[in-house]
Amino acid sequence: MELRQLVILTFQVSILLIVFSFGLQATSRDLLYLIRRPGLLGRSLLAMFVVMPLVAVSLALMFNFQRTVEIDVVALAISAVPPLLPSRGSKAGGHTSYALGLMVTVAVLSTVIVPASVELIGLLVGRSLAMAPSVVARVVLVMIVLPVMTGMVVRAVLPAVADRIEKPVVRVAHVLLAVAVLALLAGSATAIWAEADVSSILAIAIFVLGGLTVGHVMGGPEPDHSVVLALSTACRHPGIAVAIVAANFPDVRPGPTILLYVIVSAILCIPYIAWNRRQLVATVPA
Protein backbone atom coordinates (compact mmCIF):
# COMPACT_ATOMS: atom_id res chain seq x y z
CA MET A 1 0.00 0.00 0.00
CA GLU A 2 1.37 3.41 -1.00
CA LEU A 3 1.82 6.12 1.63
CA ARG A 4 -0.91 8.32 0.12
CA GLN A 5 -3.39 5.43 0.17
CA LEU A 6 -2.48 4.73 3.80
CA VAL A 7 -3.07 8.39 4.72
CA ILE A 8 -6.46 8.42 2.99
CA LEU A 9 -7.40 5.16 4.71
CA THR A 10 -6.41 6.64 8.07
CA PHE A 11 -8.55 9.69 7.35
CA GLN A 12 -11.54 7.49 6.45
CA VAL A 13 -11.13 5.32 9.55
CA SER A 14 -10.99 8.42 11.76
CA ILE A 15 -14.27 9.71 10.27
CA LEU A 16 -15.87 6.28 10.73
CA LEU A 17 -14.85 6.22 14.40
CA ILE A 18 -16.11 9.76 15.00
CA VAL A 19 -19.48 8.99 13.41
CA PHE A 20 -19.60 5.70 15.36
CA SER A 21 -19.08 7.71 18.56
CA PHE A 22 -22.09 9.84 17.63
CA GLY A 23 -24.13 6.64 17.44
CA LEU A 24 -22.88 5.58 20.89
CA GLN A 25 -24.56 8.72 22.26
CA ALA A 26 -27.66 8.71 20.07
CA THR A 27 -31.18 7.42 20.60
CA SER A 28 -34.19 7.06 18.34
CA ARG A 29 -35.47 10.35 19.79
CA ASP A 30 -32.43 12.13 18.28
CA LEU A 31 -33.11 10.72 14.82
CA LEU A 32 -36.78 11.72 15.03
CA TYR A 33 -36.02 15.22 16.33
CA LEU A 34 -36.41 16.88 12.93
CA ILE A 35 -39.36 14.76 11.83
CA ARG A 36 -41.30 16.17 14.76
CA ARG A 37 -40.40 19.73 13.74
CA PRO A 38 -41.44 20.06 10.08
CA GLY A 39 -40.83 23.82 9.98
CA LEU A 40 -37.22 23.45 11.10
CA LEU A 41 -36.79 20.45 8.77
CA GLY A 42 -38.05 22.45 5.78
CA ARG A 43 -35.79 25.44 6.51
CA SER A 44 -32.80 23.14 7.02
CA LEU A 45 -33.26 21.32 3.72
CA LEU A 46 -33.92 24.59 1.89
CA ALA A 47 -30.71 26.15 3.22
CA MET A 48 -28.51 23.13 2.53
CA PHE A 49 -29.91 21.78 -0.74
CA VAL A 50 -31.29 24.87 -2.49
CA VAL A 51 -29.80 28.13 -1.23
CA MET A 52 -26.15 27.05 -1.13
CA PRO A 53 -26.08 25.70 -4.72
CA LEU A 54 -27.67 28.98 -5.81
CA VAL A 55 -24.96 30.89 -3.93
CA ALA A 56 -22.22 28.83 -5.62
CA VAL A 57 -23.69 29.24 -9.11
CA SER A 58 -24.13 32.99 -8.50
CA LEU A 59 -20.49 33.29 -7.46
CA ALA A 60 -19.40 31.45 -10.61
CA LEU A 61 -21.46 33.80 -12.79
CA MET A 62 -20.53 37.05 -11.00
CA PHE A 63 -16.78 36.56 -10.65
CA ASN A 64 -14.09 35.43 -13.06
CA PHE A 65 -12.67 32.66 -10.91
CA GLN A 66 -10.42 29.90 -12.19
CA ARG A 67 -12.37 27.12 -13.92
CA THR A 68 -11.14 24.54 -11.39
CA VAL A 69 -12.30 26.69 -8.48
CA GLU A 70 -15.71 27.31 -10.03
CA ILE A 71 -16.28 23.60 -10.61
CA ASP A 72 -15.08 22.59 -7.14
CA VAL A 73 -17.14 25.24 -5.32
CA VAL A 74 -20.32 24.21 -7.16
CA ALA A 75 -19.55 20.54 -6.42
CA LEU A 76 -19.09 21.37 -2.72
CA ALA A 77 -22.38 23.27 -2.69
CA ILE A 78 -24.19 20.13 -3.85
CA SER A 79 -22.39 17.87 -1.35
CA ALA A 80 -24.54 18.63 1.69
CA VAL A 81 -23.49 15.88 4.11
CA PRO A 82 -21.28 17.34 6.89
CA PRO A 83 -19.97 14.20 8.68
CA LEU A 84 -18.46 16.08 11.66
CA LEU A 85 -21.53 18.24 12.30
CA PRO A 86 -22.59 16.82 15.71
CA SER A 87 -19.10 17.32 17.12
CA ARG A 88 -18.76 20.88 15.82
CA GLY A 89 -22.30 21.77 16.78
CA SER A 90 -21.80 20.53 20.33
CA LYS A 91 -18.60 22.56 20.74
CA ALA A 92 -20.45 25.64 19.52
CA GLY A 93 -23.31 25.16 21.97
CA GLY A 94 -25.67 23.67 19.38
CA HIS A 95 -28.55 21.29 20.02
CA THR A 96 -27.08 17.77 19.88
CA SER A 97 -30.31 16.00 18.92
CA TYR A 98 -30.85 18.45 16.08
CA ALA A 99 -27.28 17.96 14.83
CA LEU A 100 -27.54 14.15 14.90
CA GLY A 101 -30.97 14.12 13.30
CA LEU A 102 -29.91 16.60 10.62
CA MET A 103 -26.77 14.64 9.73
CA VAL A 104 -28.65 11.37 9.24
CA THR A 105 -31.64 12.97 7.47
CA VAL A 106 -29.46 14.90 5.03
CA ALA A 107 -27.29 11.84 4.41
CA VAL A 108 -30.27 9.69 3.43
CA LEU A 109 -31.88 12.38 1.27
CA SER A 110 -28.56 13.09 -0.48
CA THR A 111 -28.69 9.75 -2.28
CA VAL A 112 -31.57 11.19 -4.32
CA ILE A 113 -31.06 14.95 -4.17
CA VAL A 114 -27.34 15.09 -5.06
CA PRO A 115 -27.66 13.24 -8.41
CA ALA A 116 -30.76 15.29 -9.26
CA SER A 117 -28.92 18.52 -8.41
CA VAL A 118 -25.98 17.55 -10.64
CA GLU A 119 -28.31 16.97 -13.59
CA LEU A 120 -30.23 20.20 -12.91
CA ILE A 121 -27.05 22.28 -12.86
CA GLY A 122 -25.99 20.56 -16.08
CA LEU A 123 -29.23 21.75 -17.70
CA LEU A 124 -28.63 25.29 -16.42
CA VAL A 125 -25.10 25.48 -17.86
CA GLY A 126 -25.95 23.63 -21.04
CA ARG A 127 -23.73 20.62 -20.41
CA SER A 128 -24.55 16.97 -19.81
CA LEU A 129 -23.66 16.24 -16.18
CA ALA A 130 -24.49 13.12 -14.21
CA MET A 131 -23.83 11.46 -10.89
CA ALA A 132 -24.76 7.84 -10.23
CA PRO A 133 -26.97 7.58 -7.13
CA SER A 134 -25.08 4.42 -6.19
CA VAL A 135 -21.85 6.44 -5.75
CA VAL A 136 -23.47 8.84 -3.28
CA ALA A 137 -25.35 6.01 -1.58
CA ARG A 138 -22.11 4.09 -1.04
CA VAL A 139 -20.36 7.07 0.57
CA VAL A 140 -23.37 7.87 2.75
CA LEU A 141 -24.02 4.26 3.75
CA VAL A 142 -20.42 3.39 4.61
CA MET A 143 -19.31 6.69 6.14
CA ILE A 144 -22.46 7.78 8.01
CA VAL A 145 -25.49 5.49 8.18
CA LEU A 146 -23.74 2.21 9.10
CA PRO A 147 -21.41 3.62 11.79
CA VAL A 148 -24.23 5.64 13.38
CA MET A 149 -26.57 2.65 13.42
CA THR A 150 -23.84 0.36 14.75
CA GLY A 151 -23.18 2.78 17.59
CA MET A 152 -26.91 3.03 18.34
CA VAL A 153 -27.19 -0.77 18.48
CA VAL A 154 -24.31 -0.92 20.96
CA ARG A 155 -26.03 1.83 23.01
CA ALA A 156 -29.35 -0.08 23.00
CA VAL A 157 -27.94 -3.54 23.74
CA LEU A 158 -24.93 -2.71 25.93
CA PRO A 159 -25.42 0.80 27.38
CA ALA A 160 -22.66 0.36 29.97
CA VAL A 161 -20.20 -0.63 27.25
CA ALA A 162 -21.26 2.34 25.13
CA ASP A 163 -20.60 4.70 28.03
CA ARG A 164 -17.21 3.11 28.71
CA ILE A 165 -15.86 3.11 25.15
CA GLU A 166 -17.31 6.40 23.85
CA LYS A 167 -14.53 8.70 25.11
CA PRO A 168 -11.62 6.38 24.15
CA VAL A 169 -13.11 5.99 20.66
CA VAL A 170 -13.34 9.78 20.29
CA ARG A 171 -9.74 10.25 21.46
CA VAL A 172 -8.37 7.66 19.03
CA ALA A 173 -10.47 9.10 16.21
CA HIS A 174 -9.25 12.64 16.81
CA VAL A 175 -5.61 11.53 16.94
CA LEU A 176 -5.98 9.62 13.66
CA LEU A 177 -7.82 12.55 12.09
CA ALA A 178 -5.11 15.02 13.11
CA VAL A 179 -2.34 12.75 11.77
CA ALA A 180 -4.18 12.15 8.49
CA VAL A 181 -5.00 15.82 7.93
CA LEU A 182 -1.44 16.92 8.64
CA ALA A 183 -0.09 14.23 6.31
CA LEU A 184 -2.54 15.20 3.55
CA LEU A 185 -1.64 18.87 3.90
CA ALA A 186 2.10 18.13 3.91
CA GLY A 187 1.83 15.91 0.84
CA SER A 188 -0.32 18.42 -1.03
CA ALA A 189 1.30 21.63 0.16
CA THR A 190 2.80 22.50 -3.22
CA ALA A 191 -0.46 21.86 -5.09
CA ILE A 192 -2.50 23.79 -2.50
CA TRP A 193 -0.09 26.72 -2.70
CA ALA A 194 -0.45 26.75 -6.48
CA GLU A 195 -4.26 27.01 -6.09
CA ALA A 196 -4.13 29.54 -3.26
CA ASP A 197 -4.27 32.75 -5.23
CA VAL A 198 -6.35 35.70 -4.07
CA SER A 199 -9.34 34.89 -6.29
CA SER A 200 -9.51 31.25 -5.15
CA ILE A 201 -9.34 32.12 -1.47
CA LEU A 202 -11.88 34.90 -1.99
CA ALA A 203 -14.32 32.54 -3.75
CA ILE A 204 -14.08 29.92 -1.02
CA ALA A 205 -14.27 32.51 1.78
CA ILE A 206 -17.43 34.09 0.29
CA PHE A 207 -18.94 30.62 -0.10
CA VAL A 208 -18.23 29.66 3.53
CA LEU A 209 -19.34 33.02 4.97
CA GLY A 210 -22.48 32.83 2.84
CA GLY A 211 -23.22 29.39 4.26
CA LEU A 212 -22.73 30.56 7.84
CA THR A 213 -25.00 33.55 7.26
CA VAL A 214 -27.74 31.63 5.45
CA GLY A 215 -27.77 28.83 8.01
CA HIS A 216 -27.71 31.19 10.99
CA VAL A 217 -30.66 33.20 9.67
CA MET A 218 -32.72 30.22 8.53
CA GLY A 219 -32.07 28.30 11.74
CA GLY A 220 -34.73 30.38 13.43
CA PRO A 221 -34.84 32.22 16.75
CA GLU A 222 -33.33 29.39 18.82
CA PRO A 223 -29.54 29.98 19.07
CA ASP A 224 -28.78 26.27 19.50
CA HIS A 225 -30.62 25.60 16.22
CA SER A 226 -29.14 28.48 14.25
CA VAL A 227 -25.53 27.56 15.04
CA VAL A 228 -26.07 23.93 13.95
CA LEU A 229 -27.68 24.94 10.67
CA ALA A 230 -25.00 27.59 10.06
CA LEU A 231 -22.19 25.06 10.41
CA SER A 232 -24.01 22.39 8.42
CA THR A 233 -24.73 24.83 5.58
CA ALA A 234 -21.15 26.10 5.39
CA CYS A 235 -19.40 22.74 5.86
CA ARG A 236 -19.83 20.26 3.01
CA HIS A 237 -18.66 16.69 2.36
CA PRO A 238 -15.27 16.72 0.54
CA GLY A 239 -15.52 13.08 -0.53
CA ILE A 240 -18.80 13.53 -2.39
CA ALA A 241 -17.53 16.74 -4.01
CA VAL A 242 -14.43 14.94 -5.30
CA ALA A 243 -16.62 12.13 -6.69
CA ILE A 244 -18.85 14.65 -8.52
CA VAL A 245 -15.88 16.39 -10.14
CA ALA A 246 -14.16 13.12 -11.06
CA ALA A 247 -17.33 11.76 -12.70
CA ASN A 248 -17.96 14.84 -14.85
CA PHE A 249 -14.65 16.65 -15.31
CA PRO A 250 -11.84 14.07 -15.70
CA ASP A 251 -9.43 16.84 -16.73
CA VAL A 252 -9.90 18.70 -13.41
CA ARG A 253 -7.85 17.80 -10.34
CA PRO A 254 -10.17 18.64 -7.41
CA GLY A 255 -7.90 17.65 -4.52
CA PRO A 256 -5.95 20.91 -3.95
CA THR A 257 -9.01 23.18 -4.12
CA ILE A 258 -11.05 20.89 -1.86
CA LEU A 259 -8.22 20.84 0.69
CA LEU A 260 -7.97 24.63 0.42
CA TYR A 261 -11.70 24.77 1.15
CA VAL A 262 -11.21 22.56 4.23
CA ILE A 263 -8.51 24.92 5.53
CA VAL A 264 -10.42 28.15 4.84
CA SER A 265 -13.70 26.82 6.24
CA ALA A 266 -11.99 25.59 9.41
CA ILE A 267 -10.38 29.00 9.94
CA LEU A 268 -13.56 30.98 9.28
CA CYS A 269 -15.72 28.76 11.49
CA ILE A 270 -13.50 29.34 14.54
CA PRO A 271 -14.54 32.98 15.19
CA TYR A 272 -18.17 32.16 14.43
CA ILE A 273 -18.19 29.30 16.96
CA ALA A 274 -16.47 31.50 19.57
CA TRP A 275 -18.97 34.33 18.96
CA ASN A 276 -21.93 31.97 19.25
CA ARG A 277 -20.66 30.52 22.52
CA ARG A 278 -20.34 34.02 23.95
CA GLN A 279 -23.89 34.78 22.81
CA LEU A 280 -25.21 31.67 24.53
CA VAL A 281 -23.39 32.52 27.75
CA ALA A 282 -24.78 36.05 27.63
CA THR A 283 -28.37 34.75 27.36
CA VAL A 284 -28.08 32.41 30.36
CA PRO A 285 -29.62 34.01 33.49
CA ALA A 286 -27.12 34.80 36.24
Determine contact, residues 215/234, Cβ cutoff 8 Å.
yes
Q: How confident is the model at residue 84 (pLDDT cuts 50, 70, 90)?
A: low
Q: How far apart are CA 245 and CA 258, in angstroms?
A: 11
Q: What is the CATH number of the domain that holds 142?
A: 1.20.1530.20
285 domain-assigned = no
58 domain-assigned = yes
40 domain-assigned = yes
67 domain-assigned = yes
131 domain-assigned = yes
Can you give the pTM of this predicted structure?
0.85
Q: Cα dihedral angle (18, 23, 83, 2), rounded to 10 degrees? A: 40
Q: How far apart are CA 122 and CA 120, in angstroms?
A: 5
Tens digits of residue pLDDT in 199-250: 888 888 999 999 999 999 999 888 889 999 999 899 888 888 888 888 888 8
102 domain-assigned = yes
Tens digits of residue pLDDT in 154-189: 999 999 999 999 899 989 988 988 888 888 778 777
For residue 33, the 8-state DSSP code is T
* Domain span at 58: 3-280
- Alpha helices, DSSP H, located in the chain: 3-25, 28-31, 38-45, 52-62, 67-78, 85-91, 96-125, 133-140, 146-157, 159-187, 189-195, 198-218, 223-234, 238-248, 255-283
Dihedral sign (CA 86, 88, 90, 95) = negative
| Domains in the chain, number | 1
